[in-house]
């Protein structure tokens, strides 16, 4: 596609429910990133995929968070048993994966846990 596509753009869910957020990166991009942007917290790294390498999961805040990337393309971020503190904008980005390559961001998925 023309850019990084994320869905849903907005999601309101009840505390304790599971949510899935989808990211469709730019075609041909081998690197994919998930970030979280919370009010007053700035941008927080969650997870990074690069080609067929094992993902860097060092930023996932708890074992309720997981992500996968199928076929080296689309990625899904799953949050289980959502809590109110999970409310944030979840941003996906992709790049060609080499140093200095431009990193393109999607518009984000706005998650509200009530």
Partner 1 sequence: AQSVTQLDSHVSVSEGTPVLLRCNYSSSYSPSLFWYVQHPNKGLQLLLKYTSAATLVKGINGFEAEFKKSETSFHLTKPSAHMSDAAEYFCVVSVLAGNKLTFGGGTRVLVKP
Site residues, partner 1 (CB under 8 A)? 30-31, 33, 35, 42-43, 45, 48, 50, 56, 59, 91, 93, 95, 97-108
* Residue 59 vs 72, nearer CB to partner 1: 59
Identify any residues that bridge with 65 across adjacent strands, giving them in sequence order.
79
* Residue 56 vs 80, nearer CB to partner 1: 56
Give me 108's structure tokens. 């984000």
* Residue 48 vs 65, nearer CB to partner 1: 48
In whole angstroms, what is the distance from residue 68 CA to residue 104 CA?
19
DSSP secondary structure code for residue 13 in this structure: E
- In the bound complex, what is the minimum distance in angstroms from residue 114's beta carbon to partner 1? 19
In whole angstroms, what is the distance from residue 43 CA to residue 35 CA?
6
Which position has the token pair 């999961």? 57
* Residue 69 vs 106, nearer CB to partner 1: 106
- In the bound complex, what is the minimum distance in angstroms from residue 16's beta carbon to partner 1? 27
- In the bound complex, what is the minimum distance in angstroms from residue 101's beta carbon to partner 1? 7
Question: How many Å is the Cα radius of gyration of the chain?
Answer: 13
């Amino acid at each position: 596609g023309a850019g990084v596509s994320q869905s849903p753009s907005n999601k309101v869910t009840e505390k304790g429910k599971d949510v899935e957020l989808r990211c469709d990166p730019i075609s041909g991009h081998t690197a994919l990133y998930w970030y979280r942007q919370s009010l007053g917290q700035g941008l927080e790294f969650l997870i990074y995929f690069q080609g067929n390498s094992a993902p860097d999961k060092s930023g996932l805040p708890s074992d309720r968070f997981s992500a996968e990337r199928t076929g080296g393309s689309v990625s899904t971020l799953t949050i289980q048993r959502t809590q109110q503190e999970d409310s944030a904008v979840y941003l996906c980005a992709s790049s060609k994966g080499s140093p200095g390559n431009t990193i393109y961001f999607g518009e984000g998925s706005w998650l509200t846990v009530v």
